[in-house]
Amino acid sequence: MKFALFGNTYQAKKSAHIIRLLSILKKYNAEIFISREFYRFLVDEQNMDIQTAGVFERNDFEADMVLSIGGDGTFLKAASQVGRKNIPILGINTGRLGFLADVSPEEMEDTFEDIYHHNYKVEDRSVLQVQSNGQPLKGYPFGLNEIAVLKRDSSSMITIHTSINGAYLTTYQADGLVIATPTGSTAYSLSIGGPVIVPHSSTIAITPVAPHSLNVRPIVINDDWEITLDVESRSHNFLVAIDGRSETCKEGTRLTIRKADYKIKVVKRPNHIFFHTLRNKMMWGVDGRG
């Protein structure tokens, strides 16, 4: 098998996991290609002797499977490079929580044994796309987790006129608005009071950030509906954050958000159950009263 490897370049003390991963793959005579940024980190900063079939730039690669070693942020970065390639991604978690990257370093050996015996699942995850006034944004306009519209600085809240399929929904006065996929429902959206959504529910959650009015609540809509946002700001600009990557937009920019025309494929262990992950990662439903 041919693997493309992305990794976290901020976790120096976790590099032992990389050595072990590479040694496991070597046992299977795998072809390993490493993103240049990660390769430079391992060789130049960690002084590691890395045997690899090649190094690639950004999204200039082909593989049977993409490996992301780090946390969910590393996984999201890998997903943005995979894009429409239709290559499944396996996330190995050396970070903290890990919903997307949910294979622990201790599980690597068993996981690759399963992979080489074709004993794994591939889940399709929906992606959101944003356009501004009909034109793409400067940065990568696709988000696996969420697209957030946020006030740019410590100024007063922004005003977001929101329509669904051309029908007026409401005007949010808030610090921002988070539009999340089911995959992203356990990320930023959850931290501001959004609902937990089962991954394959074909929905989108819209959740305000610190709304001025207490009677606006998160709302869940069909994922084949189109969301239109017209934003007003006293500072005359605002931020659009896509899976943590942000850029500034000018007041008066109209944003259109819809489901992208491709999906991201996520590799899961055969015994993976979403509710099990909820309980174990988030202590969901645990009674802490003792």
Considering the domain architecture, whether residues 35 and 95 belong to the same structural domain is answered as yes
- Are 136 and 176 part of one and the same domain? yes
d(CA 137, CA 277): 34
pLDDT confidence of residue 276: 84
If you average pLDDT over residues 157-176, what whole number do you get? Answer: 97
209 within 8 A of 170, measured Cβ to Cβ: no
Q: Residue 280: what pLDDT?
A: 81
Is 180 or 139 the better-scoring residue by pLDDT? 180
Within this chain, do residues 147 and 249 fall inside the same structural domain, yes or no?
yes
3 state SS for the chain: CEEEEEECCCCHHHHHHHHHHHHHHHHCCCEEEEEHHHHHHHHHHCCCCCCCCEEECCCCCCCCEEEEEECHHHHHHHHHHHHHHCCCEEEEECCCCCCCCCECHHHHHHHHHHHHCCCCEEEEEEEEEEEECCEECCCCCEECCEEEEEECCCCCCEEEEEEECCEEEEEEEECEEEEECCHHHHCHHHHCCCCCCCCCCCEEEEEEECCCCCCCCCEEEECCCCEEEEEECCCCEEEEEECCEEEEEECCCEEEEEEEEEEEEEEECCCCCHHHHHHHHHCCCCCCCC
The pLDDT value recorded for residue 134 is: 63
Catalytic member of 44, 49, 64, 72: 72
Total structural domains in the chain?
2
Q: Write out pLDDT tens, residues 20-63.
A: 999 999 999 999 999 999 999 999 888 888 889 999 999 999 99
How many residues make up the chain in this entry? 290
% of the chain at pLDDT higher than 90? 74
Is residue 12's pLDDT more than 70? no
Q: Indicate if 252 and 278 belong to the same structural domain.
A: no
The verdict on 80 and 189 lying in the same domain is no
Which residue type does 95 have?
G
Separation CA 31–CA 105 (nearest Å): 20
Give me the CATH number covering residue 243.
2.60.200.30
- Predicted local confidence at residue 10, as pLDDT: 80
- Phi-psi map region of 114: left, alpha, beta (phi>0 left; psi -120 to 50 alpha): alpha
Whether residue 148 is found in the same domain as residue 169: yes
53: β partners: none
Q: What local confidence, expressed as pLDDT, does residue 36 receive? A: 96
Same domain, 13 and 115: yes
Tokens (6 digits) for 159: 């005003």
Is 287 within a domain?
A: no
Q: What is the mean pLDDT of residues 147-151?
A: 97
Mean pLDDT of 144-153: 94
Tell me if 56 is assigned to some domain.
yes
Least confident of 69-83, 87-101, 269-283: 269-283
* 57: Cβ contacts below 8 Å, ≥ 6 apart: 35, 36
154/248 same-domain check? yes
Reported confidence tier of residue 135, pLDDT bands at 50, 70, 90: low
In the chain, what is the greatest distance between 2 CA atoms, to the nearest angstrom? 60
- Does residue 102 carry a pLDDT above 80? yes
Residue 221 lies in a domain: yes
Give yes or no: residues 171 and 253 share one domain.
Answer: yes
Q: Is 72 part of the annotated catalytic residue set?
A: yes
How confident is the model over 13-29, as pLDDT tens digits? 677 899 999 999 999 99
Q: pLDDT tens, 206-259?
A: 999 999 998 999 999 999 999 999 999 988 899 999 999 999 998 889 999 999
Q: Domain range spanning residue 194?
A: 128-261
pLDDT at residue 199, as a whole number? 92
